[in-house]
Structures are given as C-alpha cells and as structure tokens.
Amino acid sequence: MAQSRSFRALWALEESGLDYEYVAIKLFGDPADSDSAQNVEYLALNLQGKVPTLVHQDLVLTESVAILNYIGRQAPDSELLPRIDTASYAHHDELVCFILAELEQPLWSSGKHRFALPPEQRIPQMLETAKFEFAKAVSTLDKLLGDDFSTIDDFSIGKNFSITDLLLAHTFNWAIRFEFDVPEKYVELRDRHYQRPAAVRAMAVIE
C-alpha cells in the first residue's frame, strides 16, 4: 500500500532484481472487496489486516524487516545484506534494531494519534512527546553512524547500499512527510537514496 512499510519491500525487490507480483491492498476497504485488508482471504495471510505481506511458495511473512532479510538472502549479489566481517554485521543488526525501535517508533506513534487510531483513542498531547523522542533518536543516530559519516558519499554499513540505507531513507521520508524536524544532512540522505533507479521504479509502481 503506497508509502506504508510495504514500500520498503517493494524497493528491496527492485534492488534485488527478483521477479515479483505487486498486489495493492486497501487498509480501510470494504471487507467484501477482494483488495481489502479486512477481506477474509487477506486476513488468512495477515491476521492483523496490515501491510506488507510477502507470499513465496508456502512461505508467508508479515513483518517488513523479515521480508527485507528474506529478499536479501534470495538475491545475495544485490548486497542488501552486506558482505562484511562479523563485528561489522553486528553493527548492521544494531542499526536495524535502532531504526525500528527508536527512530521509527515516535513517527508511528504520531501517525496513530493523528489518523490511524479511532478518534476516541487519540491523545493529541502525545504529539509533542513524539517530536521530543524523535529528536533524541536522531542525536543517537549521529553517534551510531560516526563523525566521519557523509550523507552525500557514504553508506551506513560497508561500501554499498544495503537494508540499513533503505530503512534510513524510508524512515526519514516518513519524518519529512509528517513534518518533523529533520536535519538537512538526513534530508540529503533521503533525497540521494530515493534517486536510485530501483527507488524510482518502485515509486512508479505505487503512483
């Protein structure tokens, strides 16, 4: 569904060169419609009625990073999963976990309390807390990436574009769209990676 977390999987598929079929799903569609996330056939694949869902033969995955890892393993030459030493790979895993748990979390909290939750469950006061948490996470990210990291020339792990770069670009794109304060260097990071041919092709699929 458009620029939800499913865009990560679509982008990774374009980076991988693997053949795939993209099926658009409406999160809030009529359950009677076949393309609704509330349709009984979709719920049989994804119990929460969310996106993305990857189906490959008998395998069904519904968590976006698990899907990215699976795509990376299916297409090792893409180096979405970087070919690096064990210690560097540990840093890769640390960065992926940090992006999901700390950098993305306040953005999704903001989204839930702005439009995703039922109106009676929304707490407007938490929006400022989300901005505070995001700013704190960005400060930590600076340290995780290191003083020598350049958003113009460098990749976050190793010497090639990988899952961590994709996640960072997609997460900062969410932040920009949600009107959070994003340092210019991370706006540049988003812009650079979204200009990759695979990202452009993925965007064309959803537009």
Domain locations in the chain as residue ranges = 6-78, 86-196
Q: What is the pLDDT along the chain (207 residues), one digit of tens a residue?
A: 888 899 999 999 999 999 999 999 998 889 999 999 999 999 999 999 999 999 999 999 999 999 999 999 999 999 999 999 999 999 999 999 999 999 999 998 988 888 878 889 999 888 899 999 999 999 999 999 988 888 788 899 989 999 999 999 999 999 999 999 999 999 999 999 999 999 999 999 998
**Distance set, CA 198 to CA 9, 36, 78, 120, 169 (Å):** 12, 27, 11, 40, 13
**Distance set, CA 13 to CA 1, 2, 70, 72, 113 (Å):** 15, 15, 10, 9, 31
The enclosing H or E element of 54 equals strand 54-56
pTM above 0.75, yes or no: yes
CATH architecture group of domain 6-78: 3-Layer(aba) Sandwich (3.40)
* Residues 197, 38 contacting (CB under 8 angstroms): no
- Measure the CA–CA gap between 95 and 89, rounded to whole angstroms: 10
Ramachandran bin of 160, using left for φ above 0, alpha for ψ from -120 to 50, beta for the remaining angles: beta
Helix axes 197-206, 184-194, angle to 10 degrees: 80
CATH topology of domain 86-196: Glutathione S-transferase Yfyf (Class Pi); Chain A, domain 2 (1.20.1050)
Q: Can you give the pLDDT at residue 118?
A: 87
CA geometry: angle 189, 192, 197, nearest 5 deg: 140
